[in-house]
């Protein structure tokens, strides 16, 4: 056995097959935990990439943590840019929820889970609850964006096969004419 094969076997989790878990139709605890981990991971990775790119392009200091409450302020352009990046990240996360979870009933749960985990991590980093009203307002708007857009996009994906495929399919519906509408009068 080569070194590469041995390393792959050591890194592979024998009890978890990610593809098999995500393709399950029913919701199991390992599948939910994996979905929460994936969404939370991409929530922070997307924000870090977005914030660091914008901060670098605008010449801001990149040393502050993304979990610091002081980053969420409207007193300066840096804080306002951070808030805008956070809300753009919420739009991206709502899309991720619709793709990864795919159920409109679960969009609320995952959106609130993302923000509860964010509150716990922020509390652990800052060692206190946020006292900034701006931080709370940004988190509320962010969670509402994720909830409503995630629910809407998930519902569209769920109903697409039933209702919307006929509208998009031009092959079978090309024989519809206005005479059909006039015959109904």
Indicate if the pLDDT at residue 184 is higher than 70. Answer: no
Residue 14 in domain = no
Residue 77 in domain = yes
* Count: domains in the chain: 1
Is 114 exposed, middle or buried, given 0-12, 13-18 or 19+ CB atoms closer than 10 A?
buried
Residue 117: which residues within 8 A CB-CB, separation 6 or more?
Answer: 36, 40
Residue 86 in domain = yes
Residue 79 in domain = yes
Domain encompassing residue 122 = 28-157
Residue 1 in domain = no
Residue 126 in domain = yes
Which range (3-7, 27-31, 113-117) has the least confidence? Answer: 3-7
Residue 146: which residues within 8 A CB-CB, separation 6 or more?
Answer: 90, 93, 94, 97, 107, 110, 111, 114, 115
Question: Over the chain, what is the mean pLDDT?
Answer: 78
Alpha-carbon Rg for the chain in angstroms: 22
Residue 61 in domain = yes
Residue 111 in domain = yes
CA-wise closest residue to 89 among 162, 55, 40: 40
pLDDT, one tens digit per residue, over 130-175 is 888 999 999 999 999 999 988 888 887 777 666 655 555 555 554 5
């Amino acid at each position: 056995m080569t070194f590469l094969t041995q390393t792959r076997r050591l890194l592979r989790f024998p009890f978890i097959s990610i593809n098999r878990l995500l393709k399950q139709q029913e919701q199991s605890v390992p599948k939910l935990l994996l979905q929460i981990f994936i969404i939370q991971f991409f929530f922070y990775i997307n924000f870090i990439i977005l914030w660091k790119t914008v901060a670098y392009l605008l010449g801001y200091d990149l040393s502050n943590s993304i979990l610091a409450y002081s980053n969420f302020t409207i007193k300066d352009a840096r804080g306002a840019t951070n808030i805008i990046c956070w809300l753009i990240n919420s739009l991206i996360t709502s899309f991720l929820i619709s793709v990864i979870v795919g159920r409109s009933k679960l969009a609320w749960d995952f959106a609130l889970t993302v923000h509860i985990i964010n509150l716990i991590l922020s509390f652990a980093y800052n060692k206190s609850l946020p006292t900034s009203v701006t931080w709370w307002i940004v988190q509320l708007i962010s969670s509402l964006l994720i909830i409503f857009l995630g629910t809407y996009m998930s519902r569209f994906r769920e109903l697409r096969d039933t209702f919307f495929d006929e509208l998009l399919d031009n092959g079978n519906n090309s024989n519809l004419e206005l005479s059909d509408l006039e015959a109904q009068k």
